[in-house]
Amino acid sequence: GSTVIFNTADYYGGGLYVQAGKATLNASVVSGNVAQFGGGLYLYSGDVTLSGNTVASNAADYGGGLHVQESDATLINTVVADNQAQTAGSGLYIQDASPRLLHTTIARNSGGNSIGLCLLSSGNVALTNTILVGHATGVYVAPGTSARLEGTLWGNTADWDGGGTLYHDNDYTGEPAFVDPDGGDYHIEQASAARDKGVDAGVASDIDGDPRPVGLGSDLGADEWTRIDLSPSRKSVNLGQAEAGDTLTYTLVLSNGGLTPSMETLLFDAIPAHTTYISGSAQATSGALTDGDGIRWTGVVTPHRPITITFRVTVNAQAFIHNTAIVTDQHGAVTVLTALVNARRLYLPIVKRET
C-alpha cells in the first residue's frame, strides 16, 4: 500500500487524479490533501478499482474525500471519514457515474451541507453493506439519479433526501461502536450494530485482510469484527520453592478464546536471573521455536486449540526467580504471562480465644 498525504491541487484530486485508463489502489491511506474537486481522489472515467483504502481528513469544495465523475469505479472495503467539503459532498460527490461500493464506512464527514454521499446528474449508484453515519444528510439523490443501498447501518440527522430514486432494504439503526473515531480508528467493537448484518457481496476479507464472514454473517462497513483473545493463555512452573541445583520446568499454554486465528503470533520468554537454561530442552506442540538467551516462538494460535511450550532451567542460587513471557498477537496486542519461584511467604500468628 501507499501513503498519500498533505498534497494540494488547484482543481482536481488533491491526493490522486485518475483519468481514463485502468488503475488500482490497494491498502493505502489518502489523508490531509486539498483540491477544489476531490480533496482525496478525483476519478474521471476509466476502469478503476479501489480496495482496502482509507480516505480521511481531506478537504475540497466538492467531494471532500472523493469526487467520481463518468467513472464506473469499484470500491471495496473503503473508509471515507472526517473529510470536509465547502459546498457539497462532504464524503463523496458522484456525478454522471455508476460506481459500485462494497463494504464501505462513510462516517463523520462535515462542512458545507454535511452530506455523506451526494449523487448528481444521471447515474445508478449501488452500495452494499454500508455504514453511513454522522452527517446532516446521509445520502442526497438528485432528480434523474438513482441509487440502491442494500444492507445499511444508518445514523444521520436525515438519512436521505433529494428528488431522485432511492431503493433501500436491509436497513438498520444503532451504534456503530467504532474503536476510536476521534483518533481515526474506524474498526468496530463487539457491541457494534453493524455486526453480522451484511448480505453476501462476494467479498472474502476486510480492510485488514481478515476473513469474512466471522459469526453468522458479514459485518457492515469496511471492517469485520475478528476477535482474537489470548487472555486465557497461562504459564506455570513445577516448583514454588527451589534451591541451588534444582531443575525448574516452565510450561506455557497459548490459548485463543476468540473467534479467529492469530496468524503471526510472537512469544519471547527471557531466561530468568539466577538460572541457567538447559540446552535443547525447549519444546512446542506446533509453530517455530528457537532458544538461546531466551525462548522465541512464532506460529498460529487457533481458537480452542491450545499450544503447549515447555523449557527447563537449573537454579544457580536460592533467590527470588521472576520469569515473564511476552505474547504478541497479529494485531500487536500484548499478553503478559508470569511465574514466580521463591516468592516470600507470609506467616500469620494464630490467636486462640477462650469462649
Query: Which of 317, 232, 240 lies closest to 276 in space, CA to CA?
Result: 317
The pLDDT, as a whole number, for residue 353 is 64
User: b/e map of 181-190 (b: 16 or more CB within 10 Å)?
Assistant: beebebbbbe
210's grid cell: 481478515
Q: Coil, strand, or helix at residue 107?
A: strand
The pLDDT, as a whole number, for residue 347 is 47
Torsion angle of C-alpha atoms 150, 154, 157, 159, degrees rounded to 10: 10
The pLDDT, as a whole number, for residue 354 is 65
352 burial via Cβ count (<10 Å: 0-12, 13-18, 19+) = exposed
**Measured between alpha carbons, how far is 46 from 111 in angstroms, rounded to an integer?**
29
The pLDDT, as a whole number, for residue 348 is 52
**Measured between alpha carbons, how far is 104 from 166 in angstroms, rounded to an integer?**
18
- Please enumerate in sequence order all residues whose Cβ is within 8 A of that of 78, keeping only pairs 6 or more positions apart, or say none: 50, 51, 52, 53, 54, 55, 101, 103, 104, 105, 207, 222
CATH number (3.20.20.70, 3.40.50.720, 2.60.40.740, 1.10.40.30) of 234-341 reads 2.60.40.740
CA distances from 197 to 156, 171, 177, 192, 346 (A): 19, 9, 14, 10, 55
Q: Coil, strand, or helix at residue 183?
A: helix
Per-residue pLDDT of the chain (355 residues; tens, 9 = 90+): 899 999 999 999 999 999 988 999 999 999 999 999 999 999 999 899 999 999 999 999 999 999 999 999 999 999 999 999 999 999 999 999 999 999 999 999 999 999 999 999 877 899 999 999 999 999 999 999 999 999 999 999 999 999 999 999 999 999 999 999 999 999 998 899 999 999 999 999 999 988 899 888 999 999 999 878 899 999 999 999 999 999 999 999 999 988 888 999 999 999 999 999 999 999 999 999 999 889 999 999 999 899 999 999 999 999 999 999 999 998 888 999 999 999 865 445 666 666 5
CATH number (2.60.40, 1.10.3470, 1.10.30, 2.160.20) of 3-188 reads 2.160.20
Q: Coil, strand, or helix at residue 182?
A: helix
**Measured between alpha carbons, how far is 117 from 32 in angstroms, rounded to an integer?**
19
35 and 14 Cβ atoms separated by less than 8 Å = yes
**Measured between alpha carbons, how far is 346 from 355 in angstroms, rounded to an integer?**
28
The pLDDT, as a whole number, for residue 195 is 95
224 and 206 Cβ atoms separated by less than 8 Å = yes
Q: pTM to 2 decimals? A: 0.75
For the chain, domain boundaries: 3-188, 234-341
**Measured between alpha carbons, how far is 47 from 66 in angstroms, rounded to an integer?**
16
The pLDDT, as a whole number, for residue 355 is 55
